[in-house]
Structures are given as structure tokens and as C-alpha cells.
Homo-oligomer: A and B are copies of this chain.
């Protein structure tokens, strides 16, 4: 894409109404626009990152054999009454509205109820199970405070997967498979070495749930981490009893700030029972389906990645989520430079993993500062100087020095 045609522009000043570093940088670089606290529009560069994160998650969900659907935002009160979760006392961050006929409806903040109800129309026999079903969709939560940028949204993009098993053993197997897929996802996103499986409270059907916590000072959670064992405990279950059960010792644990990028829960029959999701087992007996749910915050991950990798010059995107692979920067407008840059733009658009081409009439200083702020993995400079040397000047966003490559070397490197 030609940067002269990109409608967003970078800005130097920090937005006055934004405390969080991820949102400050994402706004300054033109990735998001703040509509209200915790509610962000995704601009062209930001939408590309968001789609890239979602695609990594989608690929790993499909690899598990999970089936993608799209549930609705508008929620039927009747279903949530059956599980007791319509009440604002039980769930305190509902958004609710009314149909024209005055019927109350909610905005989806999670989707156990509608999906369990839907499946009761399709699942009858043990032969229909196990199942894994997921969606990638906007969720709405009426947060009292939303000051962490993309780390806590009132409207945010989430992947929610639900599992449906015949018995506890089958559920446990599925649960562990999903946990492994989560490890793979965070590794692919570049967060593997700073994301820890963390014991948290489990609710009615399991002693613990598992959170996936990424270390960052911007995180809203406090966890107690054993670096050697690569396991952590959330503050909410940080008791002597729990530590003993998990074989952890207080003096081995470090109190650190972290952001919850994923969580997995065993739900037992909490939803299948009140909503009548049953199956006939191979002995002819009717049983409740055993469920699990597995969330990943897609837009939150964008904020977490921004927080984890940014430096004092701006954003730094891992290649797998970057909006473009190469930032082609043309310095000067001599006919030779323009011609060479246009040619390379055409070639790299086909074979370079995506190019943002800075074809603007700006100074080298402005162009380099913008490239650093935007954070594309490679910066490729074409100028009279590089043309003279018959080389291209390539610098990785995090590298200190540029390297000079000939055309073949360059195309090989960026392939």
C-alpha cells in the first residue's frame, strides 16, 4: 500500500485522554481511534494486525477440529434466566436494551447459554460427541473503569471456544489438547517465553481454572510465578493450602504483573443441565453433556503485544501479526530513485509478504521516525546513495545497523 494514500497519519503528541501506553502508541501510529473509554475503532493498519492475530488463532482452532460459527450479539433473556445469569447481581457488567415491543435483550458478553441451547437441537446420541465449536466475535462488557487501552474493553474482539464431551475423562483430554493449542498460539505470536499457565479459581465444577498470563507491567493481574517450574498462581488462590497442593513454595515465587491473554474453564454440567443439553449414552441412558470454555482476547492481545515489544521509538510488531512485512522508504524524488522504488514496490507487493511504500514528500527524518513509530519488521531504504552503490539498505526494526544487500539477497531475505 502507498503511504501517500493511507488516510491515517502519525502524530507526535500523546493523546491527552489516554493513560495506557498501548493505546497512546496505537493512536499516535494511526492503528486505532478512541470512540470512548474501552471502545476503539480499528483503522487500516490496526485492522490488519487484528485480522492477523485472529487468523493465527483460527488456524490453531481448525487444527483442533473445531468448527467456526458466529453467534449473535442480541441475547434472549429467557435463556439466561434458565441459568440464573440474567440478574445484574450475578453478572454485573451486562449491557441491556429493549426490542421495540419492550422485551428486554442483552448484549453478548459470553455465549454459553445460546450455544448450549442451540446444540440441544443437534446433539442426541453419544455418536454426536465430542464437539468443539468456536467463534471470533465482538463482546460487550459494561466495565466501570476502562483505562488500560486495548487491555480492557467495553467492546472487544474475542475468540471463544466451547467443548462438549461425553464424560469427565473425555473432557479432560479435550481440555489438555486445547491448552496445548494455546501454548502454540502464544508461541506463534511471539509471546511464548513470557506467557505462563496460571492456576486461578475454578468455579463450581473444578478446583482450578487455567489462565494464560503474559508478563507486562501494564497487566491488571498480579500473579506469583515460579520461573523454574514455569508455573504461576493467581493472587485470588494464593493461599498456603493451594501452594501446598501444587507443590509450590512461597520463597520460590515472584510477585509480577501480568495480562490474562487466555483462560480455560471446566464447566461440568453447569449449562447443559438447566438448558437440557443431553445425550443418550451407549447403554441407552440419558446424560448431561460435560462442557468447557476457552477464551482468547484477540484485541487485548494486540494491546499486550504493543506493550511487550514497543521501545522508546514506537511499536515493534512480530512478523506474524505485523500490518506489512516491509516498510519501503523512498528518500528524495530524483527520477532514478522514483523509478527504482516503484519497481521494487511492484515486485515486493507480489513476493514480499506485504509492503507499505512511503512515497510521500517528507524528509528522511520524518520518514524514519514514522517507520519506527509504526513498527513494521523491515525498513528498506532507496535513495540516490543506495542506487549509486547498487545495493538496498535493509534494517530490521529492532536491529541497530542496516545491511546493504543486492537485489537477489534482498528478495531471498524477504521471501
Which A residues fall within an 8 A CB radius of B? 5-9, 33, 35-36, 39-44, 47, 50, 65, 67-76, 93, 95-101, 105, 107, 114, 118-119, 121-123, 128, 131, 133, 138, 140, 142-144, 154-155
Contacts and interface: CB of A to CB of B under 8 A. Distances in A.
A53 to B, nearest CB: 13
A99 B142 contact: yes
A74 to B, nearest CB: 5
B100 A35 contact: no
A7 B105 contact: no
A154 B74 contact: yes
B97 A69 contact: no
A67 B43 CA distance: 9
Given A9-B122, A67-B7, A97-B95, A72 B142 contact: no
A302 to B, nearest CB: 12
Contacts of A138: 73, 138
Copies of this chain held together in the complex: 2
Given A69-B43, A142-B100, A35 B76 contact: yes
Contacts of A50: 70
A100 B75 CA distance: 19
Given A6-B67, A7-B67, A118 B33 contact: yes
24 contacts: A5-B65, A6-B67, A7-B67, A7-B122, A7-B128, A7-B131, A35-B76, A35-B114, A36-B76, A39-B72, A40-B72, A41-B70, A41-B72, A41-B118, A47-B69, A47-B70, A72-B155, A74-B140, A93-B100, A95-B98, A100-B142, A101-B144, A107-B107, A138-B138
Contacts of A71: 35, 41
A134 to B, nearest CB: 11
Given A44-B69, A133-B7, A138-B138, A74 B39 contact: yes
Contacts of A114: 35, 41
A47 B35 contact: no
B35 A74 contact: yes
Closest A-B pairs by Cβ, 3 of them: A42-B70, A97-B97, A95-B97
A189 to B, nearest CB: 20
B65 A41 contact: no
